[in-house]
Structure 1
Amino acid sequence: MSSDVPDSNAPADRIKHVRIEDEMEQSYIDYAMSVIAGRALPDVRDGLKPVHRRILYAMHEMGVSSNTAHRKSSSIVGETMGDYHPHGDSAIYDTLVRMAQDFSMRYPLVDGQGNFGSMDGDPAAAMRYTEARMAPLAEELLEDIEKDTVDFSGNYDDRLQEPDVLPAKVPNLLLNGSSGIAVGMSTNIPPHNLGELVDATVHLIENPEATVEELMEHVKAPDFPTGGNIVGRDAIYSAYATGRGRLRVRAEYEVDREAGRIVISELPYQENKARLVERIADDVNEGKIEGISDLRDESDRNGVRVVIELKRGANVDVVENRLLDHHLESTFGVINLALVDGQPQVLSLKESLQHYVEHRREVVRRRSEHDLAEAEERAHILEGRLKALENVEDVVELIRNSEDRDAARDGLQEDFDFSAEQAAHIVRMQLGSLTSMEAAEIQEEYEDVQDTIDYLEAVLASREKLDGVITDELREIKDEYDDERRTNVIEDAGQVTHEDLIPEEDCVVVITEDDYIKRMPVEQFDPQNRGGKGIIGADPKEGDRVSKVFRANSHDYLLCFTNRGQVYRLKTYEVPEMSRTARGKSAINLIDLDDGEELTAVVSTDDFEEDECITMVTRDGYVKRTCATDFENILSTGIRAAKLEDGDELIDVEVTDGTMDLVIASEEGMTIRFDEDEVSEMGRSARGVNGIKLTGDDKVAAMVATDDDDDRALLTVTENGYGKRTLLSEYRPQSRYGQGLIDIKTDERNGRVSTAKAVTDDDHLIIISERGQIMRIRAGDVSQVGRNTKGVTIMRLDEGDKVASVTVVPSAVAVEE
């Protein structure tokens, strides 16, 4: 070749210049459609993904049917992989295993022998140890596949043919459901009861204009293989009407109040039983669920049985509803997405059944055409045989005198006007078939074949007759395979919060410096006389001390303020209830505290009214008021309540209404009272204004809100257990940011002021020491005296121990108890 002649095969001539974004877009679309159509989504007609279809067809080709012996799973996987599905054997085997699990498939398509896994998440044995064969219902999906009922395509190497879809005598898409994740979309179709689906399909065939509501008269709801209960009907209707919905699926259980136990017998679909038991046990150990003494899994081959034993005196309703909140209910998100003519579509119940009916019409039509062709061919042969019998002597003579078979065939066609097929058949006939009995049988068969032809022609000529064939076959399927529903539908009583079943009671909540927290019923502490030592109310670990005690109702929403000016929201009953001697649970499990952050004040949001404020005071004497509505939406990580100077801490909080006076007590026994209007409302991020002028190392101990009509007294308690009551009216109002008046003497005997509270004579006080001693007394037992006095002994403390906190039980609550 001359060197100046261009080489058209040169590599440069074969290079195409394309924009990279165009190539990326097209390549990604090609990949996405390959995953969508070839792997992840089921076909609306037979409800199968390619891997399921190929496994079943491979078993069909191997002759592994429901009435043959089981075959090694490895053999089935090998045939499927080698002939139809060129992917990993583990993916094929996992699919085979799932089709054999009666807890995964409502109607298993594979009959497995050996270990095929369990509800505990145990994997199946290796494929070399298990055996399988088709389940009877799988054969219904494949029936008539050899009658040209569906299209076939070449397999991955064009060596064999595989079906594009199975004839599917049952509506398998909804029958067994499907789940899968494609590119940019996913499907999650729940399984259903066969009898209900058949009834709905028949109803749709007979009433093409039927609505979803009418179809739901037959299809009540999904029917999961593991049973359980679906809560509420609205979500079911949404799923059937739109193809999308969120179903709440609840376990089936029995509460035995006399024996004090809860027995779980059915689990939500796809729930791992072993993991469920483990999660319940973890919540019990962490104190999230109280009142459970024992937890046992007594499940066997006969079904699920998980026994939860309750402690004596435990509130069964509370335990039950805690379990419902966190463990015994799950959500099944319905996405009825399937391939329709190769395109993904979200389908309603009616649309799903309509596509299935159209598929069955096509299958029955093609089958009828196939059977008609065979029947006509057979009738043609039988006509030739009957004609030969009418001329039997001449026919035999012609065949006997012919040189060979070809000559005989030609002679029959020429002399008797037989077709080529008839002549060939007659030549192959045996003499024994020329008897009169054989002639009668041929005549009878011919009449039967003629009746079949008439029937098939009528089916093909009439949509009504064709639909009648479909409905008859569906009813036969129902008679053969129908069973009872396993999943019940129960009415939705509302969102499961169960707060109304949690006992409403007044509690004492105890917090330590290391942020251990617990609650105890107030009635655990009987009133004592002033000057007593009290009883053990907490047992802090070595190096820890009790820092706060407060009273709250178990149903209250609490705003929990920390020393760093953050605020968190917490439900009282979320604090674990523990015994008096228990240390408590780390508060970090309930609220997101940082290192060194401590709870210093708690306010119940049930006390809020319109136009009220949260008024705060810091240890360095700053005061601020913020509108209570600013604390309505609190994140789980908390929000800022006040900006603090370095070294300052938030110390106390009161709810005020703009008409009150604020009384601030210092650790050195000074007290100031001023109108709250002197503190303007400000945002959450503000620092506040000076409330009291502190001298030396004095710090704020507490704050009280009062008004002119308040007949309560100011209770002041020192760290060494001494205290007094003085009427609030004795504290004359002053201007903000003064030194105030002497309230109590803080000498060596009394120690510094621990806290101050506003009380009536009938209120009860719960006092706790740093070492966990707790005491309940009547406020009226503390002497009422004037200002600037030393007070009396309220609580007798061990050497080195100090009063940590005081909470007030209002007189109305104390009287009820």
Structure 2
Amino acid sequence: MASNPVDPIIDAPFDSALSERYLVYALSTITARSLPDVRDGLKPVHRRLLWAMRLLRLDPASGYKKCARVVGDVIGKYHPHGDQSVYDAMVRLAQTFALRYPLVDGQGNFGNIDGDNAAAYRYTEARLTQVAIDLMAGLDEDATDFRATYNGEEQEPELFPGMFPNLLANGAAGIAVGMATSIPPHNAAELLDAAVALIDNPQANVLDYVKGPDFPTGGLVVDSPAAIAESYATGRGGFRVRARITVEREKGGGWYLVVSEIPYGVQKGKLIEGIAALITDKKLPILGDVRDESDEEIRIVIEPRARTVDADTLTESLYRLTDLETRVPLNLNVLDKTRTPRVMSLGEALAAWVEHQFVVLRRRSEHRLQKIADRLELLGGYIIAYLNLDRVIEIIRTEDEPKPVMIAEFELTDRQAEAILNMRLRSLRKLEEMELVRERDALTKEQAGLVDLLANEGKQRRRLKGDLRKIRDRYGPETALGARRTTIAEAAPARVIPLEAMIEREPITVILSQRGWIRAMKGHVDLASAETMKFKEGDGPAFAFHAQTTDKLLLAAATGRFYTLGADKLPGGRGFGEPVRLLIELDGSVQIIAFLRASSSDRLLVAATDGRGFLVKTADTIAETRKGKTVMTPRAGAMLSLVKPVHPEDDYVAAIGDNRKMLVFPLSELAELSRGQGVQLQRYRDGGLSDAITFRFDKGLTWAMGGEAGRMRTESDLTPWRAARGAAGRMPPTGFPRDNRFQG
């Protein structure tokens, strides 16, 4: 009977089967795709790319080869994944704005800092950089283990042994399953100095040498030393990175900002779009224009709206509102030497790399010793042959099987005898013997030195320090590639710039008509002339006052909602203006009770028609949206009837009802709320509140007598009307206005 070709069904709980399979996938993603190795800082795709290019002999001194050839070798021999993903990884290794020390030297379009993509791999060419050569140094000397490729046809290195600190110098980023890594680039010379210090003292403070990240795009890291140290100590945190901005002055007092370096990872095109959006959306009124004058060097010119704008204010605002300041995260999550993912501190990561270099040094030394031993064995046989040249020739000429005869007569090894038999006749020179003896003596001396090196840890430390210093000279601060690009300069967080500072301060006269049409005339015009200004037929002035373009204006509706208008955003004084209801969400049937400047007073007295009211801080009435903000919630049948500024010296409240009874009580008896119905100012049997005002008791109340003379009267003795809040009051002094309105 034929066997069942279908796999047998396994009876297992679904949750355990799913978790086991998902765990396998997760571990594969973590260890074989997304996280870099702490020893060479590479993920498998990058390692395979560089290995394939090395086998193609694409060293810095050779010519370029098509990237399609490299990608083909990688996906065919080592990395059976999509060609686009492999090419994208290769492109990043060649981008000078993405990698601090590029590992691939690209020729052609490999993308740009604007965010444009690279050309297809059939158009671009590449070869290795010296950095990549340094990173792979030692692969031919058994410095690291090799493993079979996915199909078993080739061999690939498990990691690279070179002395370039790639993990921290170039950084890394990746998202695995349940974990991620984000390591910014650093300065290689600083890392190597710290590594030398760790060799001498494993407890050395690496922050004495590594000041902070060093991004390929430059910029400024503006965190405090304490914050940087905290991030490096825990392996988690981030860095605030700002663009490098300078102020360039023009003749005549004009100026503009020039951005010469932008934060790491920010696309220049999107950055400029973001700045332009601030202008279009009018979110930064002091910003005038932005233009890109970049060529090979970045140059973004930002112009203010007027030369009177403060340069620091504009710069701080741009830092807050655009990607001219970003946060670069730090999550030093890597695979350690046992291929276990864990978060390391900066010191631990550098110490793990130094430990790896000791292993490489010993393996390369042992490999060299083996090579020397093999060569010395052959040299011993060659020298015996020269010393007995005639007899060797005779044996070769006369014996059918000369090899065993030679081994027996001269006590040679099989390899020595085979090497003698394979010698060329031209090598039978007297000079060759001298060279062989000289070579043997030199190798014997080198062999003794290597044996001593492997037996002496002190010599290993000295040897490694010397090797690291040689690499450090290649990437020193005096070289074009090694010079630090990012400045570490502590700066305070970008402060919140008040709206007033972003607007050019100019005097205006604000006019709101009875039908709700609003306009702002330039300058402080005579308010008496507002009566003669042009209005639509049947319309007239309702509110008119002087203000500044930096003011916030409060509009109170009968419903108890307060709305906030920016004085700089009001329509101009030509014509009749615009309906105020286009600027705020106010129903056309709702009456406007008050319209005033928010800066006119720190506190406001608000009251409803039923006589209830309270004090409110002006800051609590400012609304952030067009919908306004509810401040008073009048009882059923009542509505907000007055909003009056409170002078800081006022200490009493005067209220008068429709019944023409007046009450005076201390201001301290009035509640201060941010929202509500308030308390009863005055008690009424019929009608409601007509008017109320705050004043200084010792100065009394003043009102107009009426008539053309414009005479005023002041009642200084208010004792007869003074009572507790909520009393009924009594008839006002003789001559009080018939409209029941206080002066003010």
TM-score range normalised by the length of the shorter chain: 0.7 to 0.9
Matched residue, 1:225:
216
Greater shift in the superposed pair: 502-511 or 108-117: 502-511
Structure 2: gaps (5+ residues): 477-481
Matched residue, 2:316:
321
Matches within 5 A, 1:693-772: 703-710=692-699, 713=702, 727=714, 732=721, 736=726
Matched residue, 1:420:
414
2:633 matches 1:643: yes
Matches within 5 A, 1:3-82: 14-82=8-76
Matched residue, 1:383:
380
Q: Give the CA deviation at 1:21.
A: 2.9
Matches within 5 A, 1:131-280: 131-211=125-205, 215-231=206-222, 232-257=224-249, 258-280=253-275
Matches within 5 A, 1:516-555: 525-526=523-524, 528=526, 531-533=528-530
2:83 and 2:567 map into 1 onto residues whose CA distance is 51
Matched residue, 1:437:
431
2:738 matches 1:788: yes
Q: Structure 2 vs 1, CA of residues 219 and 422 (structure 1 numbering), >3 Å: closer, same or farther?
A: same
2:611 and 2:407 map into 1 onto residues whose CA distance is 123
What amino acid is aligned across from residue 788 of structure 1 in structure 2?
R
Matched residue, 2:288:
293
Contact 2:660 2:740 in 1 (8 A): no
User: Deviation string for 1:627-683 (max 9, x for gaps)?
Assistant: x799699999997644345686555376699995444579x9978545368977597
Q: Give the CA deviation at 1:442.
A: 0.8
2:593 and 2:105 map into 1 onto residues whose CA distance is 61
Q: Give the CA deviation at 1:174.
A: 0.8
Matched residue, 1:768:
none
Greater shift in the superposed pair: 543-552 or 273-282: 543-552
2:163 and 2:619 map into 1 onto residues whose CA distance is 63
Q: Give the CA deviation at 1:494.
A: 5.4
2:345 matches 1:348: yes
Q: Give the CA deviation at 1:431.
A: 2.5
2:83 and 2:518 map into 1 onto residues whose CA distance is 54
* 2:483 match: secondary structure: coil
Matched residue, 1:760:
none
What is the count of residue pairs matched by the alignment?
718
Q: Structure 2 vs 1, CA of residues 479 and 743 (structure 1 numbering), >3 Å: closer, same or farther?
A: farther
2:165 and 2:87 map into 1 onto residues whose CA distance is 24
Contact 1:113 1:130 in 2 (8 A): yes
1:32 and 1:512 map into 2 onto residues whose CA distance is 67
Q: Structure 2 vs 1, CA of residues 586 and 260 (structure 1 numbering), >3 Å: closer, same or farther?
A: farther
Q: Give the CA deviation at 1:429.
A: 0.8
Q: Give the CA deviation at 1:188.
A: 1.6
Relative to the length of structure 1, the TM-score reads: 0.75
What amino acid is aligned across from residue 239 of structure 1 in structure 2?
S
Contact 1:141 1:166 in 2 (8 A): yes
Greater shift in the superposed pair: 465-474 or 651-660: 651-660
2:57 and 2:378 map into 1 onto residues whose CA distance is 31
2:477 matches 1:477: no
Q: Give the CA deviation at 1:278.
A: 1.8
2:596 and 2:25 map into 1 onto residues whose CA distance is 58
2:391 matches 1:394: yes
Q: Give the CA deviation at 1:705.
A: 2.7
Contact 2:601 2:645 in 1 (8 A): no
Q: Structure 2 vs 1, CA of residues 489 and 517 (structure 1 numbering), >3 Å: closer, same or farther?
A: farther
Structure 1: gaps (5+ residues): 2-6, 718-722, 745-784, 795-807, 809-817
What amino acid is aligned across from residue 314 of structure 1 in structure 2?
V
Q: Give the CA deviation at 1:716.
A: 13
1:74 and 1:474 map into 2 onto residues whose CA distance is 35
Q: Give the CA deviation at 1:199.
A: 1.0
Contact 2:286 2:502 in 1 (8 A): no
Greater shift in the superposed pair: 77-86 or 634-643: 634-643
2:335 matches 1:339: yes
Q: Structure 2 vs 1, CA of residues 336 and 440 (structure 1 numbering), >3 Å: closer, same or farther?
A: same
* 1:704 match: secondary structure: strand
1:585 and 1:244 map into 2 onto residues whose CA distance is 54
Q: Structure 2 vs 1, CA of residues 440 and 676 (structure 1 numbering), >3 Å: closer, same or farther?
A: same
Contact 2:551 2:597 in 1 (8 A): no
Contact 1:618 1:700 in 2 (8 A): yes
* 1:14 match: secondary structure: coil
Greater shift in the superposed pair: 264-273 or 674-683: 674-683
Contact 2:652 2:694 in 1 (8 A): yes
What amino acid is aligned across from residue 271 of structure 2 in structure 1?
L
1:344 and 1:575 map into 2 onto residues whose CA distance is 58
Q: Structure 2 vs 1, CA of residues 413 and 117 (structure 1 numbering), >3 Å: closer, same or farther?
A: same
Greater shift in the superposed pair: 79-88 or 700-709: 700-709
User: Deviation string for 1:332-374 (max 9, x for gaps)?
Assistant: 2222221113222222221111010111111121111111111
Q: Give the CA deviation at 1:198.
A: 1.2
Q: Give the CA deviation at 1:104.
A: 0.9
What amino acid is aligned across from residue 787 of structure 1 in structure 2?
P
2:22 and 2:116 map into 1 onto residues whose CA distance is 37
Q: Structure 2 vs 1, CA of residues 713 and 101 (structure 1 numbering), >3 Å: closer, same or farther?
A: farther
Q: Structure 2 vs 1, CA of residues 601 and 623 (structure 1 numbering), >3 Å: closer, same or farther?
A: farther
What amino acid is aligned across from residue 218 of structure 1 in structure 2?
Y
1:588 and 1:237 map into 2 onto residues whose CA distance is 53
Matches within 5 A, 1:100-111: 100-111=94-105
What amino acid is aligned across from residue 322 of structure 1 in structure 2?
S
User: Deviation string for 1:411-451 (max 9, x for gaps)?
Assistant: 11111110011010001012222211010111111122212
Q: Give the CA deviation at 1:112.
A: 1.0
Q: Give the CA deviation at 1:88.
A: 1.8
